[in-house]
Each structure stands twice: as C-alpha cells, then as structure tokens.
C-alpha cells in the first residue's frame, strides 16, 4: 500500500505534479474551484444588470426596451457609446481588448495570463452595453470574466503555465454554462472555440467546471431553461429540402455578418466617427424597432413560439444583424453570441413561414425552423458545429431535432466557409500560416511544463577551476556544468560533466606518467593546476533563461527564435532570490514529442558520407 508523507500535500508538490501531462486529479480539483468562481461571477454580473434595470426599465427587466418611451430608448445608445468612448478609449490600446477574442489572444500568445485592467473594464463595459440598448450579449463578458478569474487563481498560486491553459478553458465553459444553463454546450464551446482541441486531460476538468458553474447559477435562478418552447416535431421528411435551403440562407447571413464586422473600410475610419455612427444608427433604429436593443432573448423566445409576424421577423433579421456587426466594427467591445442566436432564430422563423406558404399541408411549425436557425447561425459564425448542436439540444430539450439540426448546421457552416470565405469570427490572427492553437506540435508541447522534462542534475562553477575544485564538482554526479561568465551580460555556457570527467581521466594518466619519470619526492602541485572549462575538449552550449512555470511550447519557441540548443530554468520570483533549478535542451523536447526539425533532416540527407 502506497504511503503518503506530509510533503505530498504541499503547494510545492501540487505545482510539481501539475507540470506533468498526466496530472488529471490535480486539474480536476482546479476545475471544480474554477467552476464555482465563474458561476459566482456570472451571478454577480446578472445581478448588476438587474440592479441597473431598476433605475429606468419597466418591471426591472433588462430586456424590456419595448416598454420605454421612444425618445428614451433612442437616447440610451447615445449615452452608452459616449461612456465607452470617454472612459474606455482614454486608456491605452491594450486595455480596450475585451470578450472572447481577448481570451483567445491571451491563450494563444500570453500563456493564458490576463491583465487586471481589462478584467475590470469588462464589468462596466458589459453592463453599459446591454443596459444602454446596444445590440450586445452577456456571454462575451461572462467568458472573459470567468476565464480571467480562473487564470488569476493559477497565477496567485504560482502554478505552471500548462495548468493556466486548462483553467482558461474551465472559466470559459463555466461562463457559457451559467449564462444559458447549458453545461454540455459550455464544455464543447470551450474545447472547440477557445482551446481548439479535444484531449482527455482537458475534458474532465472542463466538465467539472461547467457542471459547477451551472449549479451555482441554478441555486440563484432555478433550473428553468433559457427559452420556454412548446413540444414540437418535424413531421414529414418533405421539410428536409427546405431545411437545406434554410441552412444555405443562414450561412450567407453569417458570412455577411463576419464581413461587415471585420470590414477594413469601417475599421479604418477614425474612432470618433465609428462611435458616432454606432450610436446614431442604433438610436435611429431603436426609435422604431426596440426589439433590436439589448441581448434580444425576449424576441428570440417570441420567434421560437411563433409569435412574431413576417414583417417584424424580416426587420429584426436585417436590423439586428447589421447593427451588431456595425457595433463590433465601430470598436465597441460587445458580446456577439446572444445577438447571433436572436438573428438565427428570427431568420429560421422567417424561412419557416415562407415554407408554410409554399407547402401548407406538410410544412413544419415555424418555431422548429427558429430553433434550427438559432443553432445554424451560431455554428456558422463561430465555425463551431458541435457546440451549436449541443446548444440546440440543451436549449430546446428536443432530441428529435438533432437530425435536422445536424443537416442545417453543417450546410450553414459549409456555406459560410466556402461561399463567403469566412473561417470563423474569432479565428483571425495567424502565426506560421496557421492559428497558434491549431498547430498540433504547439498544442502537444503546451500541455507539459518545463519541470517535467528538464535535467535537474547540474552544478554551477566559474570559468576557471583548479583540479581539486573540478573533482569536488563531480562528486555530486551532475549531468551538466553551468559555467558563469565574466559579466552578467554574457550568457551561461553549458558543459556536459562527462566531458570534464573525461579530461580529468586523461590528466591523471599524464600525471602518472610524469610522476614515474620524475623524482617522487618532488612537491605535489597537480591539485592546484587551473583548468579553463571553455578550452577543454567538449560540446558547449550557449543558453538563455526561462521561467520554471513555462511550458515546453514556450521553451521550444525560445530555442527556435534565439537559435540556441539549451535553456537554464530559473526558479524564484524576486531577482535576488532566483536560483537555477535545471537545464532543458532541444534534444529533451524532441525526445518528449519524438520530433525532428525537417531542416535538420535535410542537412543529414545532404551530408556527404564519411
């Protein structure tokens, strides 16, 4: 039976275990904590929306813009845009990045570390955008708040960077789960949209986080579904061709949305002009069509229950889609998932009514098409078909819709990707021709931290040592000798301890021969002979520092960028208290992943035979 010591339950031991690829129990513990934190934050965000709604919204409902006087609901977007322009854009550019796109960027290029200022900005910008009547959702803020808080927990505990990636995914899943009461869709969204990978080590912690996020939200808001819809069935299979047409139309709408929101013509305009355009356009439309304001879940629910007329559905599709895209292009950092679902529901219901006019005897209820349109729009805009299908299943509680849902979502995703050339709203930045999270090698190396493969057997020494000092260095059986240079600006040099041992053996042989030839009574000065470690035969490696929390992907990129073969691992958080914990070489990383650089293989192929 295994015995456990007190040291096995320390924070330092917890960090060491997380550095490995098989730290599943430890990651699951982090997933549970992350889910609770994110669920609580999502509840707090919704309470802030409700508290703000008590000031001027009918029945304290953040979605009840229809009950406001036309002049007031037209004034709100102007006030919201002015607040965003004055208070957000007076800050530096990096502090203005918010939402899901910011989460993916920090995960891709900053190892899942989030600035505190952006997190604080997300609170008030999210509340102002929704209560100010802009076409904005609350899911983007929820994901940012949850992912950043979960990552902050890891940074506070000084956990290795590979665990920060999982914590970001946990916060993302819990944010979606708590927002929609859809724990399974939260898991798939985190893996498909944010992490862009499916691995067992990530799945289990993310599942636990999503579960806890939903439970916390249910404790406050109950177990009610996000939308109340009647039980419906597709009926005749004659609807399938029209479902394909629906998917095609929604795919085109998704492409239009992405192209407008990322339009270079719009984004290149001066900021003040873009913000004025967003405020004036939203204000003008809201005066006549208040359904476009806010998240729009009330309009989506009405479309799902077939309570909206043809003209209102058509106006909602066009106005909501263009206003949301214009708001994004205008520089207002809003959540897009809620508005996208509303546009999809309205477009699906619109197509359902058209089908009812064409085939009144066999056409399915427009509410079914609204459900399918909601999933298709989400899948096409995000290029996340599985997450969209899971959302459809959990939002409607109708497993019978999965068959037509799969058909609609796939057609919409293919249409947006192939006909409108849109790869997904959040996949925009690339490196080496692909998004960093889509590079299989980088994904594999980012799951493991440096301590898992670094060589801990090392000894530090000066460039010149005596023979006696060299023998003492080798008494600890180090693998590497870390040679200090004459100045701090010069990098450390790594020398294999075996090379020094080999030199000492030859030196001893020479000394034995010399002593045999000379008088044995001569004084022994061999131990005082000085050795220049940079001159003895052996392979020496120039090295650069890397943090103990770094992942193998960070180490690999550092080696590639600096054209080095080894790094020394720094442990400690204060400059004067830092110590070197180990050495990681290019060979150690390649052995971990069985990876060989194709350029090295080409050199070997072209090398002439000896």
User: Which of the residue ranges 144-148, 331-335, 557-561 would you say has the lowest mean pLDDT?
Assistant: 557-561
Reply yes or no on whether the pLDDT at 566 is more than 80. yes
* Highest-pLDDT range among 203-212, 418-427, 429-438: 203-212
pLDDT value of position 428: 56
Q: What is the pLDDT of residue 608?
A: 44
Least confident interval from 45-54, 275-284, 521-530? 521-530
**Dihedral angle, C-alpha 563, 565, 569, 573, nearest 10 °:** -10
Least confident interval from 195-199, 363-367, 523-527? 523-527
pLDDT tens track for 391-402: 888 887 778 788
Q: Is 441 strand, coil or helix?
A: helix
pLDDT band at 610 (very low <50, low <70, confident <90, very high): very low
Question: What was the pLDDT predicted at 2?
Answer: 45
Asked whether residue 525 carries a pLDDT value surpassing 50, the answer given is yes
Across the range 453-480, mean pLDDT stands at: 84
Percent of the chain with pLDDT over 90: 33
Q: Tell me what pLDDT residue 576 has.
A: 58
Cα–Cα distance, 458 to 497 (Å, whole number)? 8
pLDDT of residue 447: 74
Is 341 a residue whose pLDDT tops 50? yes
> pLDDT tier at 366 (50, 70, 90 boundaries)?
confident
283: alpha, beta or left? (left if phi > 0; alpha if psi -120 to 50): alpha
Domains along the sequence of the chain with CATH: 11-221 (1.10.3080.10), 239-440 (1.10.3080.10), 449-511+526-606 (3.10.580)
- Where does residue 501 rank: exposed (0-12), middle (13-18), buried (19+ CB within 10 A)? middle
pLDDT of residue 431: 41
Q: Pairing between strand 480-483 and 458-461?
A: parallel
pLDDT digits (tens, 9 = 90+) for 84-133: 988 988 888 888 889 888 898 888 778 888 999 999 999 999 999 999 99
18-27, 105-114, 333-342, 511-520: range with lowest mean pLDDT: 511-520
Measuring CA to CA, which residue among 355, 337, 360 is closest to residue 175?
Answer: 337
- Give the three-state DSSP class for 399: helix
Q: Give the burial string for 509-545 (b: 16+ CB within 10 Å, else e).
A: eeeeeeeeeeeeeeeeeeeeeebebeebebebbebee
% residues pLDDT > 70 (the chain): 87
pLDDT at 106: 87
Nearest CA among 526, 456, 191, 237 for reference residue 364:
237
Residue-wise pLDDT for 286-299, tens only, equals: 999 999 998 888 88
| Residue pLDDT, tens place only, 229-262 | 766 667 677 788 889 999 999 999 999 999 999 8
Averaged pLDDT, 202-227: 87
Asked if pLDDT for residue 551 goes beyond 70, the answer is yes
Task: Tell me what the mean pLDDT of segment 264-276 comes to.
Answer: 89
pLDDT confidence tier of residue 278, bands split at 50, 70 and 90: very high
How far apart CA 63 and CA 294 sit, in angstroms, is 6
The encoded tokens of residue 386 equal 């599985």
Contact, 151 vs 162, CB < 8 A? Answer: no
Instruction: Give the mean pLDDT of the chain.
Output: 83
């Amino acid at each position: 039976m295994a015995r456990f010591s007190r040291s096995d339950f320390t924070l330092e031991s917890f960090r060491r275990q997380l550095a490995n690829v098989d730290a599943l129990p430890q990651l699951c513990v982090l997933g549970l904590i992350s889910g609770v934190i994110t669920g609580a934050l999502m509840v707090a965000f919704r309470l802030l929306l409700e508290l703000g709604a008590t000031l001027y919204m009918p029945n304290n409902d953040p979605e009840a813009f229809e009950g406001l006087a036309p002049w007031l609901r037209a004034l709100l977007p102007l006030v919201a845009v002015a607040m965003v322009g004055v208070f957000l854009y007076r800050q530096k550019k990096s502090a203005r990045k918010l939402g899901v796109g910011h989460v993916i960027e920090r995960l891709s290029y900053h190892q899942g570390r989030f600035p505190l200022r952006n997190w604080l900005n997300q609170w008030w910008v999210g509340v102002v955008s929704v209560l100010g009547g802009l076409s904005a959702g609350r899911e983007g803020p929820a994901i940012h708040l949850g992912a950043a808080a979960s990552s902050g927990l890891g940074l506070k505990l000084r956990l290795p960077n590979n665990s920060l990636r999982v914590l970001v995914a946990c916060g993302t899943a819990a944010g979606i789960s708590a927002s929609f009461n859809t724990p399974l869709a939260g898991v798939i969204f985190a893996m498909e949209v944010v992490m862009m990978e499916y691995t067992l080590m990530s799945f289990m912690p993310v599942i636990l986080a999503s579960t806890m996020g939903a439970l916390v939200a249910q404790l406050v808001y109950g177990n009610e579904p996000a939308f109340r819809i009647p039980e419906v069935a597709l009926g005749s299979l004659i609807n399938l061709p029209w479902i394909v047409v629906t998917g095609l139309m929604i795919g085109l709408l998704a492409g239009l949305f992405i192209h407008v929101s990322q339009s270079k013509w719009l984004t290149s305009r001066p900021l003040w002009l873009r913000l004025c355009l967003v405020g004036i356009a939203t204000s003008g439309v809201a005066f006549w069509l208040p359904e476009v304001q806010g998240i729009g879940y009330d309009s989506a629910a009405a479309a799902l229950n077939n309570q909206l007329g043809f003209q209102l559905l058509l106006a909602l599709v066009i106005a909501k889609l263009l206003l949301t895209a214009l708001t994004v292009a205008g520089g207002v950092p809003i959540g897009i998932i809620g508005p996208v679902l509303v546009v999809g529901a309205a477009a699906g219901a619109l197509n359902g009514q058209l089908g009812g006019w064409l085939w009144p005897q066999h056409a399915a209820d427009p509410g079914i098409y609204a459900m399918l349109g909601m999933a298709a729009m989400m899948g096409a805009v995000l290029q996340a078909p599985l997450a969209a299908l899971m959302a459809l299943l959990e939002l409607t509680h109708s497993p019978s819709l999965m068959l037509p849902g799969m058909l609609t979502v796939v057609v919409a995703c293919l249409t947006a990707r192939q006909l409108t050339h849109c790869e997904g709203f959040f996949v925009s930045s690339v490196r080496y021709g692909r998004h960093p999270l889509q590079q299989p090698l980088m994904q594999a190396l980012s799951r493991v931290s440096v301590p898992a493969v670094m060589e801990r057997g090392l000894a530090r020494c000066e460039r010149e040592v005596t023979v006696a000092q060299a023998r003492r260095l080798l008494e600890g059986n180090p693998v590497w000798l870390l040679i200090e240079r004459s100045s701090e600006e010069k990098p450390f040099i790594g020398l294999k301890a075996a090379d020094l041992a080999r030199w000492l053996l030859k030196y001893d042989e020479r000394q034995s021969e010399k002593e045999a030839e000379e008088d044995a009574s001569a004084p022994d000065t061999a131990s005082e002979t000085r050795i220049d470690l940079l001159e003895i035969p052996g392979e020496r490696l120039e090295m650069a520092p890397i943090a103990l929390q770094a992942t193998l992907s960070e180490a690999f990129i550092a080696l590639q960028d600096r054209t080095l073969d080894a790094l020394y691992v720094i442990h400690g958080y204060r400059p004067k208290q830092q110590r070197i914990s180990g050495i990681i070489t290019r060979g150690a990383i390649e052995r971990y992943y069985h990876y060989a650089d194709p350029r090295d293989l080409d050199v070997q192929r072209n090398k002439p035979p000896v």
